[in-house]
Amino acid sequence: MAILNLTPDSFSDGGDLATTEAALRAARAAKEDGAVILDVGGESTRPGADPVSTEEELKRVLPFIRMATSKGLGPISIDTRNARVAEKALRAGAGIVNDVSGLKHDPGMATVVAAGGAGVVLSHMRGTPATMRSLATYGDVAAEVREELEQSLGLALDAGIPREKIVVDPGIGFAKTGAQSLALLKGLGSLGALKCPILVGPSRKSFLGEIAGVPPVERLPGTIAACVLAYHNGAKIFRVHDVAPIVQALGVAQAILDA
């Protein structure tokens, strides 16, 4: 899953895809590099980020989704917490909703996903991007994340979303300290109890910088390490900025495991 942030303030690439044309070039490159899904977002969810209006979020994402769909660049995932944005994105051609709140931010989101026949990524997060740093208190982080994702899964199933269209994401870096993110990656197998494919998004995250002491754009080696270990521990989908190196690394990891 390739990350396409159509935002001016994302933590590592804000403003890089400021126009639809730039986003389309990045989308084509990602598909050529081996991306299966394009994940497009119009609101930064980095820690401390302020929300944007629904109108601004739609203005950022809809032209790209329509154009990318017309050029056969799908499947497209819309990264949003907003049910109205999700509904319009699905009508424009997106087929998946990636909700960092796990359907808990907007009460209408589960119904929109179900009515649209879309897939959904249920991510774990507490609070909002602006408040989540203060909510990273856990006894057993892996167990509590699993329990809270189970609540999101219940919301999805109760709304009529088929289990086969649901993916779970432990939300690396979302209301998690660096140590908690590492513990989640190590204990990823515990999410298997939810009986849904597991997505991870460690790409360029701050916990890698804490270990390596480098800025976001220099965290590819750490991202590769995190993805390979997550793959070994059960992850099936990887949300990343740098597609080609991750595809190659995972291919080698699979070859070693199959040898």
Mean pLDDT of 225-249: 98
- Total domains present in the chain: 1
- Residue 9 confidence (pLDDT): 52
Per-residue pLDDT tens over the stretch 52-99: 999 999 999 999 999 999 999 999 999 999 999 999 999 999 999 999
Domain span at residue 191 reads: 2-258
- Residue 46 confidence (pLDDT): 80
Evaluate if residue 4 carries a pLDDT over 90.
yes
Q: Please report how the helices 141-158 and 178-186 are oriented relative to each other, as an axis angle in degrees rounded to 10.
A: 70
Evaluate if residue 14 carries a pLDDT over 90.
no
Per-residue pLDDT tens over the stretch 175-204: 999 999 999 999 999 999 999 999 999 999
Mean pLDDT of 234-239: 98
Per-residue pLDDT tens over the stretch 88-140: 999 999 999 999 999 999 999 999 999 999 999 999 999 998 899 999 999 99
- Residue 20 confidence (pLDDT): 86
Per-residue pLDDT tens over the stretch 211-231: 999 999 999 999 999 999 999
Known catalytic residue at 186: no
pTM score, whole prediction: 0.94
Q: How confident is the model at residue 17 (pLDDT cuts 50, 70, 90)?
A: low
Catalytic residue among 88, 104, 176, 239: 239
Known catalytic residue at 205: yes
The phi-psi region of residue 217 (left if phi > 0; otherwise alpha if psi is between -120 and 50; otherwise beta) is alpha
The CATH number of the domain holding residue 143 is 3.20.20.20
Catalytic residue among 31, 88, 146, 205: 205
- Residue 50 confidence (pLDDT): 80
Mean pLDDT of 10-20: 61
